[in-house]
Chain A
Amino acid sequence: QKEVEQNSGPLSVPEGAIASLNCTYSDRGSQSFFWYRQYSGKSPELIMFIYSNGDKEDGRFTAQLNKASQYVSLLIRDSQPSDSATYLCAVTGSARQLTFGSGTQLTVLP
Protein backbone atom coordinates (compact mmCIF):
# COMPACT_ATOMS: atom_id res chain seq x y z
CA GLN A 1 0.00 0.00 0.00
CA LYS A 2 1.35 3.39 -0.97
CA GLU A 3 1.74 5.85 1.87
CA VAL A 4 0.02 8.64 -0.05
CA GLU A 5 -2.48 7.76 -2.74
CA GLN A 6 -4.14 9.90 -5.36
CA ASN A 7 -6.25 9.10 -8.39
CA SER A 8 -3.90 9.63 -11.32
CA GLY A 9 -6.67 10.91 -13.57
CA PRO A 10 -6.73 12.48 -15.96
CA LEU A 11 -9.54 14.59 -14.56
CA SER A 12 -11.31 16.89 -16.98
CA VAL A 13 -13.71 19.65 -15.97
CA PRO A 14 -15.29 22.46 -18.00
CA GLU A 15 -14.21 26.04 -17.38
CA GLY A 16 -16.08 27.55 -14.45
CA ALA A 17 -16.82 24.21 -12.79
CA ILE A 18 -15.55 22.89 -9.46
CA ALA A 19 -12.62 20.49 -9.65
CA SER A 20 -12.33 18.03 -6.77
CA LEU A 21 -9.02 16.31 -6.07
CA ASN A 22 -8.65 13.60 -3.46
CA CYS A 23 -5.84 12.07 -1.46
CA THR A 24 -5.60 9.37 1.21
CA TYR A 25 -2.67 8.59 3.47
CA SER A 26 -1.72 5.60 5.57
CA ASP A 27 0.32 7.07 8.45
CA ARG A 28 -2.03 8.03 11.29
CA GLY A 29 0.75 10.08 12.88
CA SER A 30 0.89 12.45 9.91
CA GLN A 31 0.88 16.09 10.92
CA SER A 32 0.91 18.38 7.89
CA PHE A 33 -0.75 18.08 4.52
CA PHE A 34 0.17 20.01 1.41
CA TRP A 35 -1.15 20.53 -2.08
CA TYR A 36 1.36 21.40 -4.78
CA ARG A 37 0.71 22.29 -8.39
CA GLN A 38 3.16 21.25 -11.08
CA TYR A 39 3.05 22.41 -14.66
CA SER A 40 4.65 20.13 -17.21
CA GLY A 41 8.45 20.25 -16.98
CA LYS A 42 8.38 22.70 -14.07
CA SER A 43 8.99 22.52 -10.35
CA PRO A 44 6.16 21.89 -7.91
CA GLU A 45 4.81 25.04 -6.26
CA LEU A 46 2.81 25.16 -3.05
CA ILE A 47 -0.90 25.98 -3.28
CA MET A 48 -2.03 25.30 0.28
CA PHE A 49 -1.26 23.47 3.46
CA ILE A 50 -3.58 22.29 6.20
CA TYR A 51 -2.97 20.62 9.55
CA SER A 52 -6.27 20.82 11.43
CA ASN A 53 -9.45 18.93 10.69
CA GLY A 54 -11.95 20.88 8.65
CA ASP A 55 -11.78 23.29 5.76
CA LYS A 56 -9.26 25.95 4.87
CA GLU A 57 -10.03 28.43 2.13
CA ASP A 58 -7.68 30.59 0.08
CA GLY A 59 -9.28 32.38 -2.84
CA ARG A 60 -10.66 29.81 -5.27
CA PHE A 61 -8.98 26.95 -3.42
CA THR A 62 -10.33 25.01 -0.43
CA ALA A 63 -8.43 22.25 1.32
CA GLN A 64 -10.36 19.78 3.45
CA LEU A 65 -8.85 17.44 6.04
CA ASN A 66 -10.43 14.51 7.84
CA LYS A 67 -7.84 12.80 10.03
CA ALA A 68 -10.24 10.11 11.23
CA SER A 69 -10.75 8.99 7.63
CA GLN A 70 -7.13 9.80 6.68
CA TYR A 71 -8.37 11.85 3.80
CA VAL A 72 -7.44 15.25 2.40
CA SER A 73 -8.97 16.97 -0.61
CA LEU A 74 -8.58 20.10 -2.70
CA LEU A 75 -11.48 21.91 -4.29
CA ILE A 76 -10.88 24.43 -7.05
CA ARG A 77 -13.86 26.68 -7.68
CA ASP A 78 -14.46 28.52 -10.95
CA SER A 79 -11.79 26.41 -12.65
CA GLN A 80 -9.75 28.16 -15.33
CA PRO A 81 -7.71 26.70 -18.21
CA SER A 82 -4.62 28.02 -16.41
CA ASP A 83 -5.42 25.57 -13.59
CA SER A 84 -4.59 22.69 -15.93
CA ALA A 85 -1.63 20.98 -14.29
CA THR A 86 -0.70 18.00 -12.14
CA TYR A 87 -1.69 18.37 -8.50
CA LEU A 88 0.48 16.65 -5.92
CA CYS A 89 -0.65 15.77 -2.43
CA ALA A 90 2.17 15.65 0.14
CA VAL A 91 2.18 14.55 3.75
CA THR A 92 4.63 15.00 6.60
CA GLY A 93 4.51 11.69 8.41
CA SER A 94 5.54 10.60 11.88
CA ALA A 95 9.00 9.76 10.52
CA ARG A 96 9.37 13.45 9.63
CA GLN A 97 9.66 12.78 5.92
CA LEU A 98 7.69 14.68 3.31
CA THR A 99 6.03 12.03 1.14
CA PHE A 100 4.28 12.79 -2.13
CA GLY A 101 1.48 11.05 -3.93
CA SER A 102 1.85 10.29 -7.62
CA GLY A 103 -0.29 13.27 -8.61
CA THR A 104 -3.59 13.90 -10.37
CA GLN A 105 -3.53 15.42 -13.83
CA LEU A 106 -6.24 18.07 -14.20
CA THR A 107 -7.42 19.51 -17.51
CA VAL A 108 -9.83 22.46 -17.56
CA LEU A 109 -11.60 22.63 -20.88
CA PRO A 110 -12.39 26.10 -22.30
Chain B
Amino acid sequence: EAQVTQNPRYLITVTGKKLTVTCSQNMNHEYMSWYRQDPGLGLRQIYYSMNVEVTDKGDVPEGYKVSRKEKRNFPLILESPSPNQTSLYFCASSLRIGIGTEAFFGQGTRLTVV
Protein backbone atom coordinates (compact mmCIF):
# COMPACT_ATOMS: atom_id res chain seq x y z
CA GLU B 1 0.00 0.00 0.00
CA ALA B 2 1.30 3.44 -1.00
CA GLN B 3 1.76 5.50 2.11
CA VAL B 4 3.67 8.06 4.14
CA THR B 5 4.50 6.82 7.62
CA GLN B 6 5.33 9.08 10.52
CA ASN B 7 6.48 8.04 13.96
CA PRO B 8 5.66 8.60 16.71
CA ARG B 9 1.99 9.61 16.48
CA TYR B 10 2.04 11.25 19.89
CA LEU B 11 4.98 12.58 21.87
CA ILE B 12 5.29 14.48 25.12
CA THR B 13 8.76 15.72 25.93
CA VAL B 14 10.56 18.25 28.09
CA THR B 15 12.21 21.47 27.05
CA GLY B 16 15.69 20.96 25.67
CA LYS B 17 15.58 17.20 25.14
CA LYS B 18 16.54 16.42 21.56
CA LEU B 19 14.00 14.46 19.55
CA THR B 20 13.52 13.09 16.05
CA VAL B 21 10.27 12.50 14.22
CA THR B 22 10.69 10.01 11.42
CA CYS B 23 8.99 10.09 8.03
CA SER B 24 9.17 7.42 5.38
CA GLN B 25 7.42 7.03 2.02
CA ASN B 26 7.26 3.97 -0.23
CA MET B 27 6.22 5.70 -3.46
CA ASN B 28 9.67 6.68 -4.75
CA HIS B 29 8.69 10.34 -4.49
CA GLU B 30 11.30 13.01 -5.09
CA TYR B 31 9.70 15.80 -3.09
CA MET B 32 9.18 15.62 0.67
CA SER B 33 8.26 18.29 3.18
CA TRP B 34 7.39 18.95 6.78
CA TYR B 35 4.52 21.13 7.99
CA ARG B 36 3.29 22.22 11.35
CA GLN B 37 -0.38 22.98 11.96
CA ASP B 38 -1.56 25.34 14.64
CA PRO B 39 -5.12 26.59 15.27
CA GLY B 40 -6.02 29.46 12.97
CA LEU B 41 -2.68 29.33 11.13
CA GLY B 42 -3.22 26.44 8.77
CA LEU B 43 -0.33 24.34 7.52
CA ARG B 44 3.01 26.12 7.56
CA GLN B 45 5.98 24.61 5.79
CA ILE B 46 9.07 24.00 7.92
CA TYR B 47 11.52 22.42 5.45
CA TYR B 48 11.29 20.73 2.09
CA SER B 49 13.51 18.53 -0.04
CA MET B 50 13.53 18.29 -3.82
CA ASN B 51 15.61 15.12 -3.81
CA VAL B 52 18.35 13.26 -1.95
CA GLU B 53 20.85 15.61 -0.27
CA VAL B 54 18.81 18.66 -1.40
CA THR B 55 16.94 20.45 1.39
CA ASP B 56 15.70 24.00 1.80
CA LYS B 57 13.99 26.15 4.37
CA GLY B 58 10.28 26.70 4.31
CA ASP B 59 8.40 29.47 6.04
CA VAL B 60 9.08 28.52 9.68
CA PRO B 61 12.46 26.68 9.86
CA GLU B 62 13.80 28.13 13.11
CA GLY B 63 14.48 25.45 15.73
CA TYR B 64 14.28 22.53 13.27
CA LYS B 65 16.71 20.49 11.23
CA VAL B 66 16.19 17.91 8.52
CA SER B 67 18.24 15.53 6.45
CA ARG B 68 17.63 13.57 3.25
CA LYS B 69 20.25 10.86 3.00
CA GLU B 70 17.89 8.40 1.31
CA LYS B 71 15.03 9.08 -1.03
CA ARG B 72 12.42 7.41 1.16
CA ASN B 73 13.30 9.01 4.52
CA PHE B 74 13.04 12.62 5.69
CA PRO B 75 13.43 12.92 9.48
CA LEU B 76 12.62 16.11 11.38
CA ILE B 77 15.01 16.91 14.21
CA LEU B 78 14.38 19.25 17.11
CA GLU B 79 17.77 19.77 18.75
CA SER B 80 16.45 21.71 21.74
CA PRO B 81 12.65 21.70 21.77
CA SER B 82 10.78 24.59 23.34
CA PRO B 83 7.11 24.93 24.36
CA ASN B 84 6.36 27.07 21.26
CA GLN B 85 7.10 24.00 19.16
CA THR B 86 4.08 22.26 20.62
CA SER B 87 2.04 21.54 17.51
CA LEU B 88 0.63 18.97 15.11
CA TYR B 89 3.26 17.98 12.55
CA PHE B 90 2.68 16.47 9.12
CA CYS B 91 5.13 14.98 6.69
CA ALA B 92 4.13 14.99 3.02
CA SER B 93 5.56 13.62 -0.18
CA SER B 94 4.93 14.22 -3.89
CA LEU B 95 6.27 12.58 -7.02
CA ARG B 96 7.73 16.02 -7.76
CA ILE B 97 6.67 19.65 -7.50
CA GLY B 98 4.83 20.60 -10.61
CA ILE B 99 1.50 20.93 -12.30
CA GLY B 100 -1.17 18.84 -10.64
CA THR B 101 1.19 16.78 -8.51
CA GLU B 102 -0.65 15.60 -5.44
CA ALA B 103 0.90 15.71 -1.96
CA PHE B 104 0.34 12.64 0.20
CA PHE B 105 0.34 13.18 3.94
CA GLY B 106 1.42 11.08 6.86
CA GLN B 107 -0.92 10.47 9.81
CA GLY B 108 0.50 13.37 11.81
CA THR B 109 2.55 13.64 14.99
CA ARG B 110 1.10 15.53 17.91
CA LEU B 111 4.02 16.96 19.87
CA THR B 112 3.76 18.53 23.31
CA VAL B 113 6.82 20.23 24.83
CA VAL B 114 6.52 20.99 28.55
A binding-site residues for B, Cβ under 8 Å:
6, 8, 31-32, 34, 41-46, 49, 51, 88, 90, 92, 96-103
Closest chain-B Cβ to A22's Cβ sits at a distance in Å of 15
Interface size on B, residues (CB 8 A): 26
User: Are A43 and B106 CB-contacts (below 8 A) given A97-B58, A100-B42?
Assistant: yes
A2 to chain B, nearest CB (A): 9
Binding site for A on B (CB under 8 A): 33, 35, 40-45, 48, 50, 58-59, 90, 92, 94, 97-103, 105-108
Other-chain contact of A34, B33, B45, B58, B102 (Cβ < 8 Å): B102
Residues of chain A lying within 8 A (CB to CB) of residue B59: 99
Other-chain residue from B42, B92, B99 in contact with A101 (beta carbon distance below 8 A): B42
Q: In this complex, what residue of A is CB-closest to B33?
A: A98
